[in-house]
């Protein structure tokens, strides 16, 4: 069976297109007759972007703190806040921020219409009802969250996405101006998430021409941004980065990521290391699996003057090693994509531990 996957319904792209948000939301407000909730990364509290958000009377702005990556507990708290604020469902949830904030918006939209707690839905296709209208507006580029069918959350016992067709955004607004001022390190780490999506997708056993076409395009754009342009910034370069993220996300939508992502989830769950930098740390020890990709990644690090933290697992207790290995092993489709159906024959707990010990 071929996967019949859901895509984002509407996309607007271009410098300054954020200004169209008022018009974009107008029909949604008319149809639902309800208010909007804006979930916005609190890094923008005192930025000009804050003043450009088209708030109407009755709308609510929730500042998201993403110092820690989104947890199921945080999602449930936001949902409780919205329910406390009004007995009526909002007309839409608009997430403005990096992958973390956009994921919060997706998860909140789903949990307003589905019973129970968000941790109940971590997994594949467990969501019963469509969420309410949700729009994503990235302020960092690389995760591909804007096009993906998942919202990645740290739960009580695992880091795992709520993967479902209902998770996909109804609308995305891709305005390269919003990513212009991202700090260089963060821009690099999130950008490398995209680069690694492409390498893992293109080297994977799930690859098909659909994924390959998007993956190759995204890879080419990453090379232009991080090798040819180096540490230079500019609106046209950010446009490329934004499209790299989109295409990288489309590539994995019809294939899968691989070993680096599985290991990075463990790092994030146990050590609280954010996804982008965690991927970089994990990818840097994966020469054995992605030799060309890792060599090129190191060139990109040099060109962009990035130094990764070292010996991050030096003080980890044996219990925490076990936890990290458990979290990594939950992600079976990732291992299968990387190593084929018989992946368990080669990827043992000892091998995973050895890889973690090298980080």
State how far the Cα of 111 lies from the Cα of 76, in Å rounded to an integer: 8
* DSSP letters spanning 253-289: HTS---HHHHHHHHHHHHH---HHHHHHHHHTT-TTT
Nearer Cβ to Zn ion (193/238): 193
Q: Identify what 100 binds: Zn ion, ligand NAD, none; CB under 5 to 8 Å per kind.
A: ligand NAD
Q: Which of 170, 193, 200, 238 binds Zn ion (CB under 5 A)?
A: 193
Tell me which residues in 190-219 interact with ligand NAD (CB under 6 A).
Answer: 190, 193
State how far the Cα of 142 lies from the Cα of 274, in Å rounded to an integer: 13
Tell me which residues in 101-140 interact with ligand NAD (CB under 6 A).
Answer: 101, 103, 139-140
CA quadruple 157, 160, 165, 171: dihedral, nearest 10: 120
Check binding of 183 to ligand NAD (CB under 6 A): yes
Minimum distance from residue 264 beta carbon to ligand NAD (Å): 9
Q: Identify what 245 binds: ligand NAD, Zn ion, none; CB under 5 to 8 Å per kind.
A: none
In angstroms, the Cα distances linking 165 to 9, 107, 147, 349 are 12, 12, 11, 32
CB 133 within 8 A of CB 90: no
State how far the Cα of 182 lies from the Cα of 171, in Å rounded to an integer: 23
State how far the Cα of 282 lies from the Cα of 359, in Å rounded to an integer: 7
Nearer Cβ to ligand NAD (103/239): 103
Minimum distance from residue 124 beta carbon to ligand NAD (Å): 13
> What does the per-residue mask of binding to ligand NAD show for 31-70, with x meaning CB under 6 A?
----------x-x----------------------x--xx
Nearer Cβ to ligand NAD (159/217): 159
Crossing angle of the two packed helices 275-283 and 184-202, in degrees rounded to 10: 60
Check binding of 158 to ligand NAD (CB under 6 A): no
Element (H, E) at 321: helix 318-330
Q: Give residues with Cβ within 8 angstroms of 346, minimum separation 6.
A: 339
Q: Which of 98, 204, 215, 248 binds ligand NAD (CB under 6 A)?
A: 98
- Which parts of this chain interact with ligand NAD (CB under 6 A)? 41, 43, 66, 69-70, 97-101, 103, 139-140, 143-145, 148, 150-152, 179, 181-183, 186, 190, 193, 274-276
- Which parts of this chain interact with Zn ion (CB under 5 A)? 193
């Amino acid at each position: 069976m071929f996967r019949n996957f859901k895509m984002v319904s509407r996309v607007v792209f271009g410098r300054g297109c954020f200004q169209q948000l008022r018009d974009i939301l107008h029909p949604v407000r008319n149809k639902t007759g309800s208010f909007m909730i804006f979930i916005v990364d609190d890094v923008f509290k005192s930025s000009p972007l804050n003043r450009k958000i088209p708030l109407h009377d009755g709308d609510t702005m929730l500042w998201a703190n993403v110092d820690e990556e989104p947890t199921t507990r945080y999602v449930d708290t936001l949902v409780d806040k919205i329910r406390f604020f009004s007995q009526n469902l909002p007309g839409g949830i608009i997430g403005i921020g990096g992958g973390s904030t956009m994921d919060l918006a997706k998860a909140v939209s789903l949990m307003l219409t589905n019973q129970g707690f968000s941790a109940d839905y971590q997994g594949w296709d467990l969501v019963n009802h469509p969420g309410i209208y949700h729009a994503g507006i990235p302020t960092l580029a690389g995760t591909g969250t804007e096009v993906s069918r998942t919202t990645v959350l740290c739960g009580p016992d695992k880091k795992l996405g709520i993967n479902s067709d209902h998770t996909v955004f109804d609308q995305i607004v891709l305005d390269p101006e919003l990513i212009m001022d991202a700090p260089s390190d963060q821009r690099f780490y999130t950008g490398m998430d995209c680069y690694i999506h492409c390498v893992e997708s293109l080297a994977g056993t799930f690859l098909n021409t659909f994924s390959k076409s998007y993956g190759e395009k995204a890879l080419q754009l990453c090379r232009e941004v991080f090798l040819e342009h180096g540490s230079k910034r500019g609106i046209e370069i950010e446009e490329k980065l934004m499209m790299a993220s989109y295409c990288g996300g489309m590539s994995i939508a019809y294939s899968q990521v691989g070993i680096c992502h599985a290991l990075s989830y463990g790092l994030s769950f146990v050590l609280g290391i954010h996804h982008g930098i965690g991927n970089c740390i994990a990818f840097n020890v994966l020469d054995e699996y992605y030799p060309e990709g890792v060599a090129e990644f190191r060139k990109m690090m040099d060109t962009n003057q990035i130094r990764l933290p070292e010996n991050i697992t030096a003080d980890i207790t044996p219990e925490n090693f076990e936890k990290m290995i458990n979290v990594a092993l939950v992600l079976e489709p990732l291992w299968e994509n990387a190593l084929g159906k018989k992946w368990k024959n080669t990827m043992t707990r000892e091998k995973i531990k050895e890889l973690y010990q090298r980080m």
